[in-house]
């Protein structure tokens, strides 16, 4: 039996939320992201596309390309709330759905045609989302996740597209290879050097040739180009790591400031571990210098979620890593090798006072959350003037990470 897979994508999501909250932004070029020279474009309206602006571009470059664009810093919390509204509507309507990102969703409607017309059902769902959320949304419907995602891209903005079973190859054939998910700049260059620009060329190539050139990715790409994709809907995303990083407003050589920043990140991430009943056994620190050279170092440790064990390890890694007399652009902390579990008491080192302190501080954070400016209660970052160091929401709730506008230190 052919599958029926629905893909939905909120059009220019961050921009659409801002326009919903401020009618004056409609039909005007809008950029959402970091407002400083170090910021990047998190989202851009369709009016800016003709200037060559794309998401992920440095904000300074985008402003130069389109000086009349309105730049908005954005609010991850507001975007998350709107995403939840859409998620709840989809959840109420379909049997199985996957939230792939804050603005992207998949649903498995296989077998539903016995009872409903899947395309009509998808159309009615889209209409309901637009009415109740006030946001534009597009969808693609086909037999696979990949083809449906491509179909959504073709349908945009604010439209819908169905690809009937058996027509997947002809639908994909005339498209540029970069329309296929997984084909980035590096893979595109390899294909371009081979004279491959369109999907049809890949369809006509032997699968063995693609495998020889790109390995397993070549096999996967050949299958996708031919509309073959059996990847399942994943209702729950298990986080395998958590991280935090900040770009300084200006490159800095202030070692004390960098250590304070890393400490604040480590404290927040450790709190997230305890909140999610998780432990980590791998800690890594990242430094990006002013010449954009990026270095990182990691260390394996016994499983823990305790500040007094994780923060000293972060500081040791930083001291070992920071060995160049050059200004620093960015620092970051990453915890991986996560497992379920609670902090194990060390009967030789831990005291009752320390354990009670952790419980009390976490209780206050859980109960009072953030202050009226969005800064975490009892956060080291707040005490040293680093606002919003805390990641928003629970990273272990099964949803994909929120991608907020670019943050500066």
Residues designated catalytic: 104
Report CA torsion sign: 344, 346, 350, 352.
Answer: positive
Residue 9 labeled ligand binder: yes
Alpha-carbon distance of 6 to 241, in angstroms, equals 29
Alpha-carbon distance of 409 to 392, in angstroms, equals 16
Decide: 98 and 234 in contact? Cβ < 8 Å.
Answer: yes
User: What does R_g of the chain's alpha carbons equal in angstroms?
Assistant: 24
Coil, strand or helix: which one is 260?
Answer: helix
Decide: 38 and 127 in contact? Cβ < 8 Å.
Answer: no
Alpha-carbon distance of 334 to 349, in angstroms, equals 25
Compute CA distances 268 → 46, 82, 106, 274, 317, whole Å: 36, 25, 31, 10, 18
Residue 103 labeled ligand binder: yes
Compute CA distances 126 → 56, 130, 370, 383, 399, whole Å: 28, 6, 35, 45, 21
78, two tokens: 């507001």
Residues ≥6 apart with Cβ < 8 Å to 138? 8, 9, 11, 126, 152, 155, 156, 157, 158, 159, 160
Q: Which helix (H) or strand (E) holds 340?
A: strand 339-340
Dump the DSSP string for 120-155: HHHHHHHHHHHHHH---EEEEEESSHHHHHHHHHHH
b vs e for 238-254, b when ≥16 Cβ sit within 10 Å of the residue's Cβ?
ebeebbbbbbbeebbee
The single-letter DSSP state of residue 389 is -
The phi and psi torsions of 281 (rounded to 5 degrees) equal -125, 10
Residues annotated within a binding site for Mg(2+): 9, 103
Residues annotated within a binding site: 9, 103
């Amino acid at each position: 039996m052919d599958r029926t897979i629905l893909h939905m994508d909120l059009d220019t999501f961050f921009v659409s939320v801002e326009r919903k909250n401020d009618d004056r932004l409609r039909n005007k070029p809008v950029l959402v992201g970091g407002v400083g020279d170090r910021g990047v474009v998190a989202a851009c309206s369709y009016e800016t596309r003709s200037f060559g602006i794309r998401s992920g571009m440095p904000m300074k470059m985008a402003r130069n390309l389109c000086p009349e664009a309105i730049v908005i810093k954005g609010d991850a919390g507001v975007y998350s709330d709107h995403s939840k509204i859409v998620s709840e509507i989809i959840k109420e309507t379909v049997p199985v759905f996957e939230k792939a990102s804050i603005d992207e969703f998949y649903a498995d409607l296989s077998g539903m045609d016995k009872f409903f017309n899947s395309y009509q059902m998808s159309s009615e769902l889209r209409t309901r989302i637009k009415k109740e959320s006030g946001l534009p949304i597009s969808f693609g419907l086909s037999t696979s996740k990949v083809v449906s995602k491509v179909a959504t891209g073709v349908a945009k903005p604010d439209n819908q597209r169905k690809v009937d079973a058996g027509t997947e190859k002809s639908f994909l054939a005339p498209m540029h290879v970069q329309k296929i998910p997984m084909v980035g700049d590096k893979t595109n260059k390899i294909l371009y050097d081979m004279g491959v620009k369109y999907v049809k060329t890949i369809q006509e190539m032997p699968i063995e040739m693609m495998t020889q050139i790109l390995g397993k990715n070549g096999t996967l790409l050949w299958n996708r180009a031919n509309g073959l994709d059996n990847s399942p809907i994943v209702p729950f995303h298990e986080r395998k790591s958590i991280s935090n990083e900040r770009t300084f407003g200006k490159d800095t050589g202030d070692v004390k400031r960098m250590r304070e920043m890393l400490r604040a990140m480590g404290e927040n991430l450790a709190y997230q571990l305890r909140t999610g009943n998780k432990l980590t056994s791998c800690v890594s620190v990242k430094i990006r210098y002013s010449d954009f050279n990026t270095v990182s170092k990691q260390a394996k440790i016994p499983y823990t979620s305790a500040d007094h064990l994780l923060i000293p390890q972060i500081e040791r890694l930083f001291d070992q890593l920071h060995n160049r007399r050059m200004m620093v652009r960015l620092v970051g902390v990453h915890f991986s090798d996560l497992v379920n579990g609670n902090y194990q008491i060390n009967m030789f080192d831990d005291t009752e006072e320390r354990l009670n302190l952790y419980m009390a501080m976490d209780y206050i954070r859980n109960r009072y959350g953030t202050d009226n400016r969005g800064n975490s209660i009892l956060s080291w970052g707040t005490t040293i003037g680093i606002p919003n160091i805390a990641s928003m929401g629970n990273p272990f709730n099964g949803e994909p990470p929120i991608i907020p506008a670019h943050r500066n230190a």
